[in-house]
Amino acid sequence: QQQVKQSPQSLIVQKGGIPIINCAYENTAFDYFPWYQQFPGKGPALLIAIRPDVSEKKEGRFTISFNKSAKQFSLHIMDSQPGDSATYFCAARSGNEKLTFGTGTRLTIIP
């Protein structure tokens, strides 16, 4: 019930392409869905987050798409750059419960 399943495990995209990372959850009580970006040797940093009352949220080149009925959400990175190469984690939370993280996607953007 508390799991968040993330795919793919790794992704290689050419510069300018649109990498898409997908997450699925089971717990319908989740009401907050953040994405974190982690560079090697650093802690995760909040990238963008969405509540289930909206279907899409954009911040710069990053977009979250949310499908409440399918219990899925995804991260799209527009015009991807080599500097976007990092590990991305989706997460979900219900009320003041703990954040449950996906297993991470290692993204590589090749020039």
Partner 1 sequence: DSGVTQTPKHLITATGQRVTLRCSPRSGDLSVYWYQQSLDQGLQFLIQYYNGEERAKGNILERFSAQQFPDLHSELNLSSLELGDSALYFCASSVEPLSTDTQYFGPGTRLTVL
Integer Cα distance of 111 and 13 in angstroms: 9
Residue 17 vs 99, nearer CB to partner 1? 99
Q: Is 90 exposed, middle or buried (0-12, 13-18, 19+ CB in 10 A)?
A: buried
Determine if 46 is a binding residue for partner 1 (CB under 8 A): yes
Return the residue of 41, 69, 83, 111 that touches partner 1, per CB under 8 A.
Answer: 41
Please count the residues of this chain forming the interface with partner 1, following the rule CB under 8 A.
25
Question: At its nearest, how many Å lie between partner 1 and the CB of residue 17?
Answer: 25
Residue 62 vs 101, nearer CB to partner 1? 101
**3-state secondary structure at position 83:** helix
SS3 content of the chain, % helix, strand, coil (to 5): 5, 55, 45
User: Which parts of this chain interact with partner 1 (CB under 8 A)?
Assistant: 31-32, 34, 36, 41-46, 49, 51, 89, 93-104
